[in-house]
Structures are given as structure tokens and as C-alpha cells.
Structure 1
Amino acid sequence: MKVVILGGGGREHALAWAVQRHHADWKVVVAPGNGGTDGPFRNLPVAADDPNAVLELARAESPDLVVIGPEAPLVAGVGDRLVDEGYAVFGPSARAAEIEGSKVFAKELMHSHGIPTAAFDVYSMEAAALAAVRKGLFPKVVKADGLAAGKGAIVVETPSEGEEAVRLLMGGKFGAAGKQIVIESFLQGEEASAFAICRDDQFLLLPLSQDHKRIG
């Protein structure tokens, strides 16, 4: 059995290690991989969020399974392209991944289905966002709509911090991810993530987890 794990971060290293630990006879390829995966596994260079490049790699490697780690390839439709070509893929479709890829989509989905979430407003014009972030109660949370490598959500304590966050996110540094932003109420408390593996109307819950937040 050959598994291609798509991505180059610590998540993909952990996935490769877990596969090897439980299935020592399986061949594990990590693309593009990183320094930690180079040696224990075979790294292959590829632009992980380019559907055509990944499809070319799959044709060359003929994997039995492709596991997609990062969000960006999923949002870009890499998994959909592979499935259309007959490859087995672990990872959601681009349509399902929009919940992760767009905070605006996720917030509106929660609101329309009655799922509890912090009060929010969406802005596509910087001037309107600046006017809004100066008003009301603090702290607030300012979020880029799209994927921003974990740097797209900023807690602000004052109007001036809010203005700085809006200008940072909408000023072009984050590209298309910052064309729209969400300004929402700050909710105090412990954060936990609940994950489920889903297929059609079936699901398997995984243990709760908590990521490490930045200091300061």
C-alpha cells in the first residue's frame, strides 16, 4: 500500500509518523514535505495547492490513498480533482472546505442554521470597517475572511488597535483573504475543537483538542 501525504508542515509529519507506526509495511510519500520528513520518508517537490501539479504527481506515483493535510489545497479543489480522476482521497471537498476557507461563509452558515456564534458583521470596504471597529464594546475580534496561515484573527482592546487590525488585514498583506473581514464580539472562555470524520450520513467523532494560542 502506498500513501501520499500532501503538505509540508508539522501536521503532515505527524500523519506520516502515525501511518508508519501502525502500518510499517506501507510506503509513505510526503509532498512536498519538510526537513523532518526528509529521511524517514520520501519527500517529493510539488505545489500542494495546484490541482494540476498534484494530479501529475499522483499519476507518477500511483498511490492507493492521498491524505491532504493543509486547508489551502482542499479549498483549491485538489481533492475534487483527484477524486474525479479515480484516486482515493482523505479530505473534504472544496465545497465542504469552504467552512474553513471562508469565515464569512462559516458565520453566515451558523447564523442561518441557528448554531450559536458570536455576534458579527461583515465588511468589504475599509472605510466602513474602520468606522465600525471604533464603536461599541471592547474587546472585539477582527478576522480576515480567507486563509491567512493562522494570522488572520486579531483580538483588539481599543479603537486604535481595531483600526490597526483593519488596516493590516484589508491593506493587501493577506491578498484575497483580506478583501472581506468579519468584526465580531469577543467571547471569553476556554476554546476546544471537536473533529468528526464524515461520509454521507455517517460520522466518527475524534477526541477533543485545543491548539496553542500566541502569548500576548
Structure 2
Amino acid sequence: MRILIVGSGGREHALAWKLRQSPLVTELFIAPGNGGTALEGTNVPIADDDLPALVAFAREQKIDLVVPGPELPLVLGLKEALVRENIPCFGPNAYAAQLEGSKAFAKNVMRDAGVPTADFAVFDEPADARAYVLEKGAPLVVKADGLAAGKGVVVASTTEEAVAALDEIMGRKAYGRAGDHVVVEECLIGEEASFLCFCDGDTVLPLPSAQDHKAVFDGDKGPNTGGMGAYSPAPVLPASRYDEIIEMVIRPVMREMERRGSPFSGILYAGLMMTAAGPKVLEFNVRFGDPECQPLLMRLDGDLAAIMLACATGRLNEVTLDLKPQTALGVVVAAKGYPGTYPKGMVIEGIQEAEALGDIKVFQAGTRLEDGHTVSTGGRILCVTALGDDLAAAQRRAYEALAHIRMPDCHFRTDIGAKGLGRS
């Protein structure tokens, strides 16, 4: 198989690393890729939102499967464009991708499907949204409706914070057109978990649970980021509850999407809040999370290319998901200042020393190769990921490996996995 991965983050490096291990894969391209993906395959200078160029490349190179990493190309309709060329694509069409591309769309699907979620209201006029906030009172969650790179969500503990969030999103357009509409919803209390499933419109194949850490600082303090670390499995969502979540959340959404004439294929990712009243869905994603992808693929023991191709061709019932029994934990190394302004061009050293410890993989995100060196190009730079016999061992080994990484002006959380250890 000749495979094209679309994207440039740590998730895409993890996908390239795992797909390269498949005996089915003969050639691997990544568009546009990063310094890490360049070690796994061939980087191609095509942006992830340049659909005509991506489709032309896939056609000319006789690509057998396209794997979009981020949500944007799916929301823009990459799958439909590839289908017209008879090229399989791992992921949903543009209509189904609205489960991530529009929070209002996702909430309406959940309502129609009977999926438990927070009470909500959708607004396109700032004055109406403000009046609703003042009437309801805090705490509330204010969300930009469209794609905001994992941001655009404010958990407001006071009415003033909620009004300020509306002004930022709808007034100042901090997230552009993504803030044309907002969703205001009740604030759910509990612990979060990530639950990802392979789907082909009919069959559901669940991955183990995971937990992301969105806030930039220890103790879940500071602004939200794209994710500062993750681990799998998450004790808050044990394997004994996977079937419950599938029947409560995943299958109802799949039935609703089929009823709407757009069966869901690819990865359906439910962000859950485990509340005292039971699990409730915070949001859906239509692709692997970043950084959840990194520890999840460290645990995957099977052939990812075979699983993805089965998803794309409606044969998911013919494959199985083999997993390593260990826990995996990844710590994101970010540039100081992220998610605000941050330096770039920092030389990164120690990756080989870290990986030499064994059962360690340093996935690269915001990097490039320059004159024989790996240098930083983004806010989230690395995800140092380790396998361990349990969560405590995986956490210890990840931070031991991280101690070998040398880079100026970097930052990482020191408490990834702490909530899980508290439950253990």
C-alpha cells in the first residue's frame, strides 16, 4: 500500500511511525509533515487545507489510502474529493465531520439521538447570548461553534467571565468565523475521559480509554491548550464500562448519522465528563486526538494500516484490535509562552538518548530538520511517550526520558497522570 498522511503534528508523527510498521505499507508520504515524520516517510510540501493539491498528489502517486490527521481537511470535504477519484479515505465526509466542525450541530445530533450531554442553547446574536447568560447565572461554559484549534472554550465560574468570553468570541472575533455562533451550556462537574472508536458506519471497534490534560500548567491551571499530555488507559473509565459507553453514546450517534443519510466512518472520539449522574458527552471529534493518539498507538499491537483500510471500505468486522497490556503515558514539551507568543528555532537535543531507554518514543510536532539538527517551529514541540507495567511506572519512565531532552525556553507539566494515580 502507498499511504498519504495529511497533517504536521505529533499525532501525524505517531500515525506515520505506526503505519510504517505495517507489512502492507510499501511507501509513506506525509503532507506537509514535520521533522519527525521525515524520519518515517517522505514529507510533501502541501498544506493540510489545500484539497486540490492533496487530491492531485494522491491521484498522481497512485495512493491506496489517505489518512487525514487533523479535522480541517475532513470538514472541508477531503473525503468527497477523494471518493470522486476512487481513492479510499480514512475519515468521515464533510457532513458527518460537522460533529466536530460545529458544536451546535453536534449538540443537535446528541439531542436527536438521545445521547446524554449538558443542557445548552445556541446563539448568533451577542445580545441574545448575553441576556441568556445573565438569566442563567454562572457557572457556565461558553464555546465558539466552529473550529478553534482545540481552543475557543471558556469555563466561566462567574457571570462576568461568561460575558467576557462572549465578547472575546463574538465581539472581538478571537477565533474568526468560528465565533459567528456560540453554544452556551451548563457546566458539568466530574473527571474527563476520552473514548475513541474505529467505525465503518456499522461496526464499532473501541480503543482503550485515555485522559488528556488541556490546561497549560500543573493542577489544571492556566489557559487551555491543544493538550499537554495524555495516558491510556484512564482509571476513571475502566474497560468494564466500554460496552456501556458504546451503547449510550457511539451507536446512537451512528444510527442518527445513518438516519440523516451520512453514515459515519473513521474515528469517532467522544470527550466525556464522568459526572455523579453518569457519563455525559462534552464534545465529539472526528479524528485521533493529539496527544491521545501517541499513547494509544504505543499500546496498539496490531496492523494499523489493515484496520484503517477496513474502516474505509466497510469491512471493519473482519479485523481485530490487538493491544499491549501496559499503560502508556505521554508528556508534551512546549515552548515557553505557549499557548500565547513563544520562541521558535530552538535546537532540540537528547531525543536518541531518551529513546535508548527502551519502550520510549519521542514524537515530534512543531519541529523541522535543519542542517542536521532538529529545531522547533511551533508551540507544542515534542510528546515524550513511555510504556510501563502500570500508570505509576509509565509516568516515572516518561519523566526519566524527558530528563534527557535538552532545549532552551521549554515548558512541560509535571503532573501528567496524577488524577489517574489518585484513583488507583
Q: Please give the range of the TM-score, normalised by the shorter of the 2 chains.
A: over 0.9
1:1-216 counterparts in 2 under 5 A? 1-23=1-23, 26-170=26-170, 171-214=172-215, 215-216=220-221
Q: Is the 8 A contact 1:68 1:79 kept in 2?
A: no
Which letter does structure 2 place at the counterpart of 1:79? Answer: K
Task: Specify the SS of the correspondent of 1:95.
Answer: coil
Q: Would the aligned equivalents of 2:118 and 2:187 in 1 still touch at CA under 8 Å?
A: yes
Is contact 2:156–2:162 with CA below 8 Å preserved after alignment? yes
Is the 1:46–1:57 Cα contact (8 Å) retained in structure 2? no
Secondary structure, in 3 states, of the residue corresponding to 2:54? helix
Task: Give the drift of 1:147.
Answer: 0.7
Further displaced range: 33-42 or 58-67: 33-42
Q: Tell me the distance in 1 between the aligned counterparts of 2:115 and 2:126.
A: 28
Unaligned runs of 5+ residues in structure 1 are none
Cα distance in structure 2, aligned partners of 1:211 and 1:48: 24
Deviations 1:103-122 (A, max 9, x none): 00011111122211101111
* Contact 1:142–1:165 (Cα < 8 Å) also in 2: yes
Task: State how far apart, in whole Å, the 1-side matches of 2:194 and 2:77 are.
Answer: 24
CA contact (8 A) 2:20 2:40 kept: no
Structure 1 position 25, deviation (Å): 5.7
Note the C-alpha offset of 1:20.
Answer: 1.4
**Alpha-carbon spacing, 1:62–1:124, altered in 2? closer, same or farther (3 Å):** same
Shift in Å at residue 69 of structure 1?
A: 0.9
Deviations 1:96-153 (A, max 9, x none): 1111111000111111222111011111011111222233242210001111001111
Q: Secondary structure at the match of 1:149?
A: coil
Equivalent position SS for 1:148: coil
Per mean C-alpha deviation after superposition, the further-off stretch among 72-81 and 196-205 is: 196-205
Higher mean C-alpha displacement, 170-179 vs 62-71 = 170-179
Partner letter of residue 211 of structure 1?
A: D
Residue 203 of structure 1: CA displacement?
2.1
Give the conservation status (yes or no) of the 8 Å contact 1:50–1:76: no
Which deviates further from its counterpart, 85-94 or 50-59? 50-59
Contact 2:3 2:28 (8 Å CA) reproduced: yes
Name the CA distance, whole Å, in 2 between partners of 1:12 and 1:23.
Answer: 19
What is the distance in 1 between the residues matched to 2:140 and 2:93?
32
Query: Structure 2: which amino acid aligns with 1:204?
Result: L
Report SS of the residue matched to 1:38. helix
Corresponding residue SS for 1:154 = strand
Bigger radius of gyration, 1 or 2?
2
Distance of aligned partners of 1:50 and 1:204 in 2 relative to their CA distance in 1, 3 Å threshold: same
Structure 1's consecutive aligned runs of 4 or more residues displaced over 4 angstroms after TM superposition are: none
Q: Which moved more, 1:24-33 or 1:94-103?
A: 24-33
Q: Does 187-196 or 143-152 show the bigger shift?
A: 187-196
Specify the SS of the correspondent of 1:141: strand
Asked whether the equivalents of residues 143 and 182 of structure 1 are also in contact (C-alpha less than 8 Å), the reply is yes
**Secondary structure of 1:56's match?**
helix
Residue number in structure 1 paired with 2:376: none
Q: 1:16 is aligned with what amino acid?
A: A
Rounded Cα–Cα distance in structure 2 between residues aligned with 1:25 and 1:113: 38
Q: Structure 2: 5+ residue runs without aligned partners?
A: 222-424
How many angstroms does 1:80 deviate by?
1.3
Instruction: Give the match's secondary structure for 1:31.
Output: strand
Q: 1:24 to 1:55 in 2, by over 3 A?
A: closer
Q: Which moved more, 1:114-123 or 1:32-41?
A: 32-41
Q: TM-score, normalised by structure 1?
A: 0.94
In 2, Cα distance between the equivalents of 1:41 and 1:127?
51
Higher strand share: 2
- Match of residue 340 from structure 2: none
Write the distance in 2 (CA, Å) between the matches of 1:32 and 1:60: 17
Cα distance in 1, alignment partners of residues 129 and 115 from structure 2:
25
Whether the aligned pair in 1 keeps the contact of 2:79 and 2:94 (CA below 8 Å) is: yes
**1:175 & 1:60 partners in 2: Cα distance?**
35
AA aligned opposite 1:78: L
Q: Which secondary structure state, in structure 2, belongs to the residue aligned with residue 90 of structure 1?
A: coil
Scaled by the length of structure 2, what TM-score is found?
0.49
Which amino acid is 2:43 matched to? N
Q: How many residues align?
A: 216
Q: Distance in 1 between matches of 2:96 and 2:23?
A: 29
Q: Which moved more, 1:125-134 or 1:98-107?
A: 125-134
